[in-house]
Structure 1
Amino acid sequence: MAKNTGRGSRQGAVTGRSQVKGATGTWIKRDTSTGRFLEAKKTGGSFKGIRTEK
């Protein structure tokens, strides 16, 4: 499980999640076991500590 360090970074990886870039250019978080889309990021950049799908 990932832990926030308080310095703007995350120690370790978030398990059970992945992210993919959507058609509109936003990053979308997915649950790897069910394949459901959980949330889309409104601000720029990707989610921290979550692996990226190709």
Structure 2
Amino acid sequence: MAKNTGQGYRKGAVDNRSQFQAPNGNWVKRNADTGRFMDQKTTGDKFKGVRREK
């Protein structure tokens, strides 16, 4: 997993995770190994350090 520096950013991307924007506009985090949804942001911002799906 990526190292959290405590300075508001990470060194490297989080492993085995991806994110996409749902039709309702929220960003949803997905486990890349199993494909299961993990979490959803309600503030409208993206997850930090998680790659985006196309």
Q: TM-score, normalised by structure 2?
A: 0.91
* Identity, % of aligned positions: 57
RMSD of aligned residue pairs (Cα, Å): 0.8
Shift of 1:39: 0.7
Q: In the aligned structure 1, how far is the partner of 2:34 from the partner of 2:42?
A: 23
Q: In the alignment, does 2:13 pair up with 1:13? A: yes
Q: Structure 1: where are the runs of 5+ without partners?
A: none
Q: In the alignment, does 2:41 pair up with 1:38? A: no
Task: State the AA in 1 paired with 2:39.
Answer: E
Moved over 2 A (4+): none
Q: TM-score, normalised by structure 1?
A: 0.91
Q: In the aligned structure 1, how far is the partner of 2:3 from the partner of 2:41?
A: 20
Q: Please name the residue that 1:29 is paired with.
A: 29
Task: State the AA in 1 paired with 2:27.
Answer: W
Count of residues paired in the alignment = 54
Q: In the aligned structure 1, how far is the partner of 2:13 from the partner of 2:2?
A: 5
Q: In the aligned structure 2, how far is the partner of 1:6 from the partner of 1:44?
A: 23
